[in-house]
Amino acid sequence: MPTLGDYLLVSGLLFSIGLAGVLLRRNLLIIFMSLELMLNAANLSLVAFARHGVTAFGLPDYNAQVLVFFIITVAAAEVAVGLAIIVALYRLRQTTHVEDLNRMKF
Amino acid sequence: MLTILFWVFSVLMLASAAAVVLFRNPVNSAMSLVLTFLALAALFVTLDAFFIGIIQILVYAGAVMVLFLFIIMLLDLKAETRRRLNIAALAGGLAVLGGFVVLVTQVVRSLPSSAEHFPPLARTGYPDAYEIGMTLFSGFNLPFQVIGVLLLVSTVGVVVLSRRNLR
Name which residue leads in pLDDT, B96 or B114.
B96
pTM, two decimal places: 0.91
Chain B contact set for A46 (CB, 8 A): none
pLDDT at A102: 82
pLDDT at B167: 62
Q: How many helices (H) and strands (E) does chain B have?
A: 7, 0
Strand pairing partners for A27? A97
> CA-CA distance, A47 to B122, in Å (whole number)?
18
> CA-CA distance, A14 to A42, in Å (whole number)?
9
Interface test with A, best of B25, B46, B64, B67 (most A CBs within 10 A): B64
Longest dimension (CA), chain B: 60
Q: Between chains, do B116 and A63 touch, taking CB under 8 Å as contact? A: no
> Which member of A4, A14, A40 has the closest CB to residue B118?
A4
Q: Report chain A's terminal Cα–Cα distance, integer Å.
A: 52
Residue A97: other Cβ atoms inside 10 A: 13
Q: Which amino acid is at A94?
A: Q
| pLDDT tier, A25 (very low <50, low <70, confident <90, very high otherwise) | confident
| pLDDT tier, B117 (very low <50, low <70, confident <90, very high otherwise) | confident
Measured CA angle at A50 (ends A8, A59), to 5 deg: 145
Name which residue leads in pLDDT, B124 or A62.
A62
Phi, psi of A27 (to 5 degrees): -95, 125
Mean pLDDT of A68-77: 94
> CA-CA distance, B55 to A79, in Å (whole number)?
16
Which residues 6+ apart lie within 8 Å of B27 measured at CB? B69, B72
Fold (topology level) of A4-100 = Helix Hairpins (1.10.287)
| pLDDT tier, B34 (very low <50, low <70, confident <90, very high otherwise) | very high
Residue B77 has pLDDT above 80, yes or no: no
Interface ipTM above 0.85: yes
Q: Which amino acid is at A5?
A: G
| pLDDT tier, B166 (very low <50, low <70, confident <90, very high otherwise) | low
Question: How is chain A split into domains, by residue range?
Answer: 4-100
Provide the sign of the torsion angle of the four alpha carbons A71, A8, B63, B69, taken in this order: positive
Q: At what angle do helices B65-75 and A28-52 cross, to 10 degrees?
A: 170
Q: Between chains, do A9 and B105 touch, taking CB under 8 Å as contact? A: yes
- Measured in angstroms, the CA of B30 and the nearest CA of chain A are apart by 8
Q: Between chains, do A17 and B18 touch, taking CB under 8 Å as contact? A: yes
CB B26 within 8 A of CB B72: yes
Nearest residue in A to B33, CA atom: A33
Q: Between chains, do B136 and A66 touch, taking CB under 8 Å as contact? A: yes
